[in-house]
């Protein structure tokens, strides 16, 4: 619930607000904490591929580490781990006892040369990484260990807080019995909603029961094969080494049509400038740390009862004033009435910078652009007396 709604139902609840800056939550402390955690993960072993997925999430490819690891995990090493799908088979009501029994059962079934044994070695590594994060940052975290990014993500929430879950492929049917279709990567948007509407289903277990011929009546062969693979727990997205984000953005929600939603261009202009200032500040910090500069700006707007609308603009002059003016001119002009009102109330507004390139490349382009600048055309005295010369904009 939102804080106000929670307080209306429970007046004694204590609600703590995040520190604000420019009228919105200031997440700088969270970003700094995120960097600490990512540094701890990345320094564990160079053979592990780390992909930073968000401010509080990362994917790890442990393949090379497992192949070179000589450690033989024992149950005591993984005492806080749940092996998904075995709890139900043992019919145990006590959660702690269920974790212990599921782990014991799994260890007894695993052979030393099996894929599941590799998962145990990976789980041992994840436990050591979690310990390192705790030692270096004092932050606790949860993890999911499985054969691909999709299953690892889904299993990571099964043993919170401060626990880890191992999900063998044999336990996918168990997991899918309670997994909504829209919780799976790439099914959280229109495709997932379309599947739910067409087949009148809600869960991944129901999707797994559909035949290829049923799917082929509504989707092309590529989508059908992908859906069949996902319904079996198979996915092939690689973990891509990335310790810094692909994009930098900021936004604000304006909930409540009558009270908080933006209804005029003046209101929208104010918030565009606030977001632009935050974005420019973060881009400057990023350039100093990573030596790169963004070339693309994406503006996203959600009007009340409408889908999110996005428009991309080139990012040349990284100043809050220029960004704000470009957004106002190229985006909001078509959504503003003659009296200054917006055509629809805005409930969400965000700016995102992406398509980074090394700063020195942009500096070199700037020098070349100046070198080949078009020369001013000579004018006679009479022209000079009556004309106003404006500098040509360089892009």
Q: How many CA atoms lie within 13 A of 304 on its CB side?
A: 15
**What whole-number distance in Å separates Cα of residue 352 and Cα of residue 312?**
9
Residues 6+ apart with CB under 8 A from 155: 84, 144, 145, 146, 165, 166, 167, 175
Q: What is the pLDDT of residue 115?
A: 85
**Which residue positions in the chain have pLDDT lower than 50?**
89-90, 366-368, 370-371, 375-395
**Catalytic: 57?**
yes
3-state secondary structure at position 376: coil
Residue carrying structure tokens 């260890």: 107
Give residue 17's Cα distance to chain centre: 23
Are the C-beta atoms of 36 and 137 separated by less than 8 Å? yes
pTM: predicted TM-score of the whole model, two decimal places = 0.76
Residue 128 belongs to what H/E stretch? helix 115-137
Q: How many C-beta atoms surround the C-beta of residue 235 within 10 A?
A: 19
Per annotation, catalytic residue among 19, 51, 57, 277: 57
The first and second tokens of residue 173, run together, are 């049917």
Q: What is the pLDDT of residue 28?
A: 86
Q: What is the pLDDT of residue 361?
A: 62
Q: Closest Cα partner for 352 from 299, 292, 295, 274?
A: 299
């Amino acid at each position: 619930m939102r804080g106000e709604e929670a307080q209306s139902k429970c007046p004694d609840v204590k609600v703590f607000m995040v520190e604000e800056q420019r009228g919105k939550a200031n997440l700088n402390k969270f970003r700094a904490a995120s960097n600490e955690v990512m540094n701890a993960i990345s320094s564990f072993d160079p053979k592990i591929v780390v992909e930073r997925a968000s401010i509080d999430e990362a994917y790890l490819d442990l393949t090379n580490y497992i192949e070179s690891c000589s450690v033989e995990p024992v149950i005591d090493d993984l005492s806080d781990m749940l092996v998904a799908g075995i709890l139900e088979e043992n019919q145990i009501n006590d959660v702690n006892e269920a974790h212990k029994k599921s782990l014991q059962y799994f260890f007894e079934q695993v052979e030393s040369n099996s894929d599941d044994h590799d998962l145990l070695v990976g789980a041992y590594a994840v436990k050591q990484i979690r310990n390192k994060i705790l030692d270096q940052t004092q932050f606790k975290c949860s993890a999911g260990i499985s054969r691909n990014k999709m299953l690892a993500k889904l299993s990571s929430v099964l043993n919170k807080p401060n626990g880890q879950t191992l999900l063998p492929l044999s336990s996918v049917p168990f997991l899918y019995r309670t997994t909504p279709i829209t919780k799976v990567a790439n099914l959280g948007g229109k495709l997932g909603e379309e599947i739910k509407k067409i087949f009148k289903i809600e869960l991944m277990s129901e999707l797994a029961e559909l035949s290829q011929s049923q799917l082929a009546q509504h989707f092309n062969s590529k989508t059908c094969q992908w859906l069949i693979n996902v319904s079996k727990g198979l996915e092939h997205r690689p973990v891509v080494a990335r310790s810094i984000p692909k994009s930098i953005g900021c936004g604000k929600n304006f909930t409540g049509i009558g009270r908080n939603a933006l209804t005029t261009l003046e209101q929208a202009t104010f918030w565009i400038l606030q977001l632009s200032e935050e974005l420019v500040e973060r881009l400057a910090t990023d350039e100093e740390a990573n030596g790169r500069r963004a070339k693309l700006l994406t503006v996203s707007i959600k009007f009340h009862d409408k889908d999110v609308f996005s428009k991309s603009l080139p990012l040349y002059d990284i100043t809050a004033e220029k960004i704000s003016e470009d957004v106002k001119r190229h985006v909001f002009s078509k959504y503003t009435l003659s009296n200054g009102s917006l055509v629809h109330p805005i409930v969400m507004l965000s700016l995102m910078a992406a398509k980074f390139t090394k700063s020195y490349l942009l500096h070199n382009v700037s020098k070349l652009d100046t070198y080949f600048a078009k020369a001013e055309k000579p004018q006679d005295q009479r022209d000079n007396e009556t004309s106003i010369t404006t500098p040509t904009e360089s892009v």
